[in-house]
Amino acid sequence: MFNPLLESFQTPRDTAPFDQIKTEHFLPAIKQGIKVAQEEIEKIKSEPLPTFQNTIEALDRAGKLLSRASSIFFNLNSAETNEQIQNLAREIAPLLTEHSNNILLDTELFNRVKQVFEQKNELNLTAEQSTLLEKSYKSFVRNGANLSKSQSQSLREIDQKLAQLSLKFGENVLEETNKYLHLVKNEDELEGLPESIRDAAAALAEEKGHKGFWAFSLEYPSYIPAMTYASNRDLRKTLFMASGTKSCKGDDLDNREIIKEIVKLRFDRAKLLGYDSHAHFVLEERMAKTPSEVTSFLNSLLEKAKPRAEEEMRELAAFASEKQGLDQIEKWDYAYFAELLKKEKFALDDELLRPFFELDKVVQGVFLTAEKLYGITFKENSEIPVYQEDVKAYEVYGKNGEFVAVFYADFFPRPGKRNGAWMTSFKSQRKLNGKVDRPHISIVCNFTKPTKSRPSLLTFNEVTTLFHEFGHALHGMMANGTYESLTGTSVYWDFVELPSQIFENWCYEKECLDLFARHYETGEKIPEEYIEKIKASANFQQGYQTLRQISFGLLDMAYHGQDPSVIDEIESFEKESMKKTNLLPDVKGTMMSTAFSHIFQGGYSSGYYSYKWAEVLDADAFELFQENGIFDKATAKSFLENILSAGGSEHPSILYKRFRGRAPKEDALLKRAGLA
């Protein structure tokens, strides 16, 4: 049977042939990829004398066929999944886990790596080569190379279980999201909702077979506007309760026991490898080295942010009391009254700004910003196959016309796509035998869809989300390293958010907004007074928002920084872990843990703090752009060379100091957030 995943891709720029790939192609391709990778490992082991080239470099280059097929498969499982793909994921995940363990627990292979590692001082390696050698050696040690045979077997069993549990957690959250639909028959119940949101709700109802109704789902473009604008408090509460009880209703989609199993297995794995906890294991390879350092960092921010947050909440409570006689703000009231107060204080709201942020224009603005900074240009290529009709593919070119990357953009929600926004890679950058493989990068979002009467118009928050994910994409696209495992976003997890978060800063600058923010009907440029209001309102409720991020980081550390046998019941454990940051009454039966995909499905376990950590870096780094000009060529060139292109070739603290001229300081973040 012809299998396009096992053939040379006859496509523009060697892109994935999505138009030919069928679900049944994946399992044979991944099995063949594992077989080829194992043969490559055996060849490495057969070399008579271990050297950096025949062992360390060869290991980095092994498994290309498997890597390509599995990255395509798991990207589709996040962005365009179905029951067949999910069933296949449950079959494929254990195969990949076993294959990874077969490599990392191979004593003969590890001994070769160890021999090279022990000679590192005599090998005259470049900084990048030294990093690859150290990373290769540590990956074996940190994944059980020094374990006994029985311990190795225990590790394999743990990893298999974790792979399955993580998949099941994500499937449950996605199914909970997809199955929920709240119908409204009486238009009076939609008071406060802008016309665009009503149109979208009517379109969703019609799409789901309920013409004449208005429908709300738990997908962000439906849920967030309803929580922000609906005057109907009952509607807000109904939607909040549906969202807050995702995967904790005691049915077969309940994630509470899965969470307990995941954190216990992670703890057992860490102990098996000689670490005090999963967080100790993870943080060994982070800029923040220990759980105590993370907790100290979060508590330091908490100390600065909490008085401001409490002051903001008192102001909001007084405002809600004055406007609607509320004695107590509940969690389903926060976004609504915060938006009303912001509108009153700054004469600004999302609906005032939305007409200036047509999605296609914002995308062009993102491209122009990247061009002004780094000289790259984007050209849509409809010949590149895509995995869903809404996805667009672009070729990216450098300032001298050289090909840089393929960029996929996938913007709208659909049933087979998980919530949120993320950047990913279908093919990484590397150099091999004098040839440079350029990367294929994708960003996936869930923005407001176009309706029959208007195009997709973004909220300002969605604009910053697009810039954020595009910052990650730049990190991937501009990669210029030798080794695949060190290029692009293959950096310490608490450094990976720097390129994304710094790019958000341009959204607040007139010089950038003037490139693309124009009224979708009149073509009028966004008024300067609106830009001033955007900047003035940037710190609005910043204390509360900072507390919210800190609360997620502290919850993550509570799950992973100690023996999880202390967890008796998820709801009370979560409540206790977040009590220092909680300024609103708890709502019995609701939890965030059971849908906390970042740490139980994604790669953020013991790493959620990195969002705030990277904010320190991005505020400090952007301060240099502000001093020199936000499109200053020399500053952009330095950021490109030392951060974006460098990937994980050296320790992030070295790369950052090379760009900034010194270590980062908190001052810029505290000033920007109004917490100084």
pLDDT tens column, 42-78: 999 999 999 999 999 999 999 999 999 999 999 999 9
**What letter represents residue 247's amino acid?**
S
Share of the chain above pLDDT 70, in %: 100
* CA pseudo-torsion sign 445, 449, 455, 459: negative
**What letter represents residue 474's amino acid?**
L
Q: Report the pLDDT averaged over residues 530-549.
A: 94
Query: Which pLDDT belongs to residue 673?
Result: 86
DSSP string, 61-90: HTTHHHHHHHHHHHHHHHHS--HHHHHHHH
Query: Which pLDDT belongs to residue 169?
Result: 97
Q: Report the pLDDT averaged over residues 151-174.
A: 96
CA–CA dist 144, 105 (Å, integer): 6
Query: Which pLDDT belongs to residue 452?
Result: 84
Q: Which two tokens stand for residue 403?
A: 């090909």
Q: Report the pLDDT averaged over residues 504-525.
A: 97
Residue tagged 């993102």 (tokens): 366
Query: Which pLDDT belongs to residue 300?
Result: 94
Instruction: Report the mean per-residue pLDDT for the chain.
Output: 96
Query: Which pLDDT belongs to residue 280?
Result: 98
Residue in 469, 497, 574, 623 annotated catalytic: 469
Q: Report the pLDDT averaged over residues 493-511.
A: 96
Query: Which pLDDT belongs to residue 433?
Result: 85
Residues 6 or more apart whose Cβ sits within 8 Å of residue 570: 248, 256, 259, 260, 591, 593, 594
Query: 448 falls in which pLDDT band (50, 70, 90)?
Result: confident
CA–CA dist 628, 607 (Å, integer): 32
> Per-residue pLDDT tens for 227-276?
999 999 999 999 999 999 999 999 999 999 999 999 999 999 999 999 99
Q: What is the pTM of this model?
A: 0.91
CATH topology of domain 355-540: Neurolysin; domain 3 (1.10.1370)
Query: Which pLDDT belongs to residue 350?
Result: 85
* Superfamily classification of domain 4-104+106-146: Endopeptidase. Chain P; domain 1 (1.20.1050.40)
CA–CA dist 178, 201 (Å, integer): 15
Query: 349 falls in which pLDDT band (50, 70, 90)?
Result: confident
Query: Which pLDDT belongs to residue 674?
Result: 86
Integer-rounded Cα Rg, in Å, for the chain is: 25
Q: Report the pLDDT averaged over residues 441-452.
A: 92
Query: Which pLDDT belongs to residue 602?
Result: 85
Query: Which pLDDT belongs to residue 451?
Result: 84
In the predicted structure, residue 675 carries a pLDDT above the cut 90: no
Residues 6 or more apart whose Cβ sits within 8 Å of residue 240: 227, 331, 332, 587, 590
Q: Report the pLDDT averaged over residues 495-511.
A: 96
**What letter represents residue 615's amino acid?**
E
Query: 118 falls in which pLDDT band (50, 70, 90)?
Result: very high
Write the burial class of residue 359 (CB in 10 Å: 0-12 exposed, 13-18 middle, 19+ buried): buried
Query: Which pLDDT belongs to residue 676?
Result: 77
Cite the DSSP H helix spans in 230-290. 233-244, 256-272, 278-283
Q: Is 80 a catalytic residue?
A: no
CA–CA dist 410, 427 (Å, integer): 17
Task: Write down the domain spans for the chain.
Answer: 4-104+106-146, 180-229, 355-540
Query: 97 falls in which pLDDT band (50, 70, 90)?
Result: very high
